[in-house]
Amino acid sequence: MVSVIIPVYNEESTIRKALNVLPYKNGLEVIVVDGESQDRTKEFARTFPARVVECIKNRALQMNKGAQLATQDALLFLHADCRFEEGSLEAISDCLRDGHIGGCFSQAIDSDKFIYRLIEFSGNLRARLSKIFYGDQAIFVRRDIFFKMGGFDNVPLFEDILFSRKMAQEGRIQVLSKKVFVSPRRWQKNGIIMTTIIFWFLTIGLSLGISFDRLKRLYQDIR
């Protein structure tokens, strides 16, 4: 079985949609880790059969806390503006039984605009070739491997890239054909071109060893 861990901060506009589509009837364990939200995120989340806990606002630490509370053998880290398609949990189980230690889903942006098909294609190709996964691709991992690696690094951003790098060193990882549908809101807020440029600069800065404090200044909260 899989434990779904959802780190949230001020997600009252998305949390009900995210939780409503999860297959609770199969005994799914869902842990929502709130990072000091100032809206009704926690109130809305508690109307679902999910465990809601609190943590300081830091996505890496929120996901680590959720992992510590999880009881299942596999952990799936899901953003609040993402949803996965039917059969995804079974695909995770099949992947892990096949000898992989973790992976992610193929990204599908929840918009009909053609430009997003190009973004999806390039992102999924990058993930398959580099084995570097982003958080909105819904990263999953065996629970024992997660703790062996020390979980997510306590950093303000790029915890997903650093984690997937560590995971690739521990064993076989895979990009599943099953899709995770992600909201286009971050591209809509700042524009597709500007958002792409910002992430390019951030990724290059990470590769060059620029401090996380300096990189954080470029990062914009899309909520």
* Interatomic CA distance for residues 122 and 111, integer angstroms: 16
Residues 77 and 92 in one domain: yes
| Containing structural domain, residue 48 | 2-183
What residue type is 35 in one-letter code?
G
Token representation of residue 169: 């060193």
Provide the angle, in degrees to the nearest 10, between the axes of the packed helices 59-69 and 159-170: 50
- Residue 74 sits in the same domain as residue 18: yes
CB 181 within 8 A of CB 138: no
* % of the chain residues with pLDDT over 70: 97
Question: At a CB cut-off of 8 Å and minimum separation 6, what does 162 contact?
Answer: 152, 153, 155
Residue 139 sits in the same domain as residue 207:
no
145: CB partners within 8 A, 6+ apart: 101, 102, 167, 170, 171
Are residue 38 and residue 105 in the same domain, yes or no?
Answer: yes
Between CA 135 and CA 60 the distance in angstroms is 10
What total of structural domains would you count in the chain? 2
Question: What is the tens place of the pLDDT at every residue in 34-75?
Answer: 999 999 999 999 999 999 999 999 999 999 999 999 999 999
CATH of the domain at 30: 3.90.550.10
Per-residue model confidence (pLDDT) at position 195: 80
Q: Which amino acid is at 192?
A: I
Q: Do residues 62 and 17 both lie within one domain?
A: yes
Local confidence band at 220 (pLDDT 50, 70, 90 cut-offs): low
24 pLDDT higher than 90? no
Residues 132 and 204 in one domain: no
Q: Quick one: 57 and 86 in the same domain?
A: yes
Residue of higher predicted confidence among 197 and 115: 115
Torsion angle in degrees (nearest 10) through CA of 139, 167, 124, 180? -10
More confident residue, 95 or 196: 95
Mean pLDDT of the region 5-9: 97
Instruction: Give me the chain's average pLDDT, please.
Output: 91
Residues 124 and 218 grouped into a single domain:
no
pLDDT digits over 144-186, tens only? Answer: 999 999 999 999 888 999 999 999 999 999 999 999 999 988 8
User: Do 159 and 195 share a domain, yes or no?
Assistant: no
Q: Are residues 36 and 123 located together in one domain of the fold?
A: yes
| Alpha helices (runs of H) in 79-184, residue ranges in sequence order | 88-97, 114-130, 143-148, 159-170
pLDDT band at 222 (very low <50, low <70, confident <90, very high): very low
**One domain, residues 67 and 91:** yes
Does residue 26 carry a pLDDT above 90?
no
Encode pLDDT of 67-121 as tens digits: 999 999 999 999 999 998 989 999 999 999 999 999 999 999 999 999 999 999 9
At 218 the pLDDT is 63
**Domain identity same for 118 and 217:** no
